[in-house]
Structure 1
Amino acid sequence: MDDFDWTDAYENGAYIPDAASYPPAWQAAAEAFRAEHPDAELDLAYGTHERQRLDLFRPDGPPAGLAVFVHGGYWMKFDKSLWSHLARGALARGWAVALPGYRLAPEARLSWIAEDIGRAIDLAASHVDGPVRLAGHSAGGHLVARMACQLSPLPAAPRLRLAGVLSISGLHDLHPLRRTAMNDTLAIDDAEADAESPALLTPIPGVPVTAWVGADERPEFLRQARLLSDAWPDCREEIDPGRHHFDVIAGLEVPDSPITRAFVGETGAD
């Protein structure tokens, strides 16, 4: 497959109608959501870097636990401010929801970014009692799956509370990304791909994982979801019909959607 176009294989926007309209829409929805929740705890610092901050939204009444959503952007772009609205579904179901920012490539290597997420979860968990559930989209899917590995940057206290992981369109084997143009920025080498690819690592036993992917996504994302479900005994694959890479996360705004239920571990009927 030396002539295979790996850059195109991981290109999403070119294959999604009106792709450029999504980031502004996410930004507007996120800003509106924050305006609806003036008591949210914004920019809680878990480190000294300006991106080592998280936002925490609390439900009315004692939370059922902590739900953490980690955004995507190929570890190179976006920040937590675009995704606040994706807390809506889990928040309505009684969960406190944290959305961490993190350092980006090329300033940070992927292993450093994973360490950021471990520290962010640790801080959020110190503010909220109960089980901890993680969800992430695209590169964020990689990062939350990385937390569920035995060799993980997630500290011991939140690891003992980890109740489930939802990797949405996650990247679970980093080796193909070494052949893409984006690796000029990411600088993933063979050793880092081995050390940071969840599908090549041993999961924490007994933590249920879902590899969720849109049916209309690029074939590589479908393959990446299948890789994790094949490699990890406690991982199931869920293919979301009619969804592509940019709208597969939309259901997180809806309290009774299947993806929100998967996030908070309520997959059965009320």
Structure 2
Amino acid sequence: MVNTTSSTRRPFDPRSKWAELSQAERSAAYDNNAAVKNSPALIAERNEASARLRGTLRSHLDLPYGERANNKIDLYPAAKPDAPCLVFVHGGYWQRNSRELFAMLVEGVAAHGWSVAIPGYSLAPEVSLTDIVADIPRALDWLAAHGAAYGVAGPVILSGWSAGAHLVAMALNHPRVHAGLALSGVYDLAPIRDTGLNTALKLTDEEIATLSPLRLPVTNKRLDIAYGGSELPALVCDSIDFHEKRAAAGAPGQLIAIEGADHFTILEALRRPDGVLVKAARRLLD
């Protein structure tokens, strides 16, 4: 079931009593792996499918767009160079995962004649979140300058999952981006500093103020925001709050609640050619 109305049920947000919670309880509020009991199996299947597809799909892999080791992008061009392109930014709380592990998402939009680009990006603790956020516009700059040479020249829908959704929100104003699709994102960094995730991130006051989409002026470009109905409440509330902030400012975009989906199974809606989020991505071209 999919809900795209503004009447989506808001769960109890543990951050409303944040000061009363222990460090362990605060970390648990963002621990998607622990919250989804079969997450190891879901992650293993995702990684295996991506390894299999990455080796068989028509592609240009490991193209450097910057100087750091993870500044590489994988391109999966469609038959037509001017086809729409889904640029997908992976998640992992800005400190784990890589572009190679998400090649399984290519099949969804590729079935409709789209290209796909999957950029990697630098990770904490080797670099700061400020550096990580800067990587995505750098990848988009490279795509604008060089994509056509690899058969990728159509309009870009920028999508991302989890930490990748945060990076999508931060890069939405890039001129190469037509619209965005953010999945299961974190849009306020302040609570993250109070969790174990901050051991690697080492967030500063300035980063919380300038890199939290919920604390920044709204980008007036279409952004659909999706989340799973079985996600952790903190992530659900961030998605609802970010959509409401944008709607109040008159920015276009839908809030898409996928009932029954958790933080990992929501990706199936972008992986399947008939998936709800594939349909959402295609509507963003209208």
What TM-score does the superposition give when structure 1 sets the normalisation length? 0.90
Q: Which amino acid aligns with 2:254?
A: R
1:75-154 alignment runs, 5 A limit: 75-126=94-145, 127=147, 128-149=152-173
RMSD over equivalenced CA pairs, Å:
1.6
- 2: distance between equivalents of 1:11 and 1:246? 12
Percent identical: 33
Q: Which residue of 2 aligns with 1:67?
A: 86
Contact 2:91/2:161 (<8 A) preserved: yes
What TM-score does the superposition give when structure 2 sets the normalisation length? 0.85
Q: Which amino acid aligns with 2:38?
A: D
Contact 1:87/1:97 (<8 A) preserved: yes
Find the residue that maps to 2:88 and give its secondary structure.
strand
Q: Which residue of 2 aligns with 1:243?
A: 261
Find the residue that maps to 1:36 and give its secondary structure.
coil
Contact 2:90/2:98 (<8 A) preserved: yes
Matched, 1:26 2:46: yes
Q: Which residue of 1 aligns with 2:275?
A: 257
Higher relative contact order (CA 8 A, sep 6+): 2
- Deviation track 1:190-237 (CA, whole Å, cap 9, x = no partner) reads 2111100112112332x1111100000110011010111011132321
Task: Provide structure 1 residue ranges, at least 5 long, that are not aligned to the other structure.
Answer: 150-158
Q: Moved runs in structure 1, 4+ residues, more than 6 A?
A: none
Q: Which residue of 2 aligns with 1:192?
A: 207
Q: After TM superposition, give the deviation of residue 125 of structure 1 in Å.
A: 3.0
Contact 1:134/1:263 (<8 A) preserved: no
Q: Which residue of 1 aligns with 2:6?
A: none
Matched, 1:6 2:26: yes
CA gap 1:15/1:204 in 2 versus in 1, 3 angstroms:
closer
Equivalenced residues, count:
257
Q: Which residue of 2 aligns with 1:155?
A: none
Q: After TM superposition, give the deviation of residue 24 of structure 1 in Å.
A: 1.8
Q: After TM superposition, give the deviation of residue 266 of structure 1 in Å.
A: 5.5
Q: Which residue of 2 aligns with 1:179?
A: 194
- Deviation track 1:92-132 (CA, whole Å, cap 9, x = no partner) reads 22221100111100111111111111111221233132321
Q: Which amino acid aligns with 2:226?
A: W
Contact 2:50/2:104 (<8 A) preserved: yes
CA gap 1:162/1:266 in 2 versus in 1, 3 angstroms:
closer
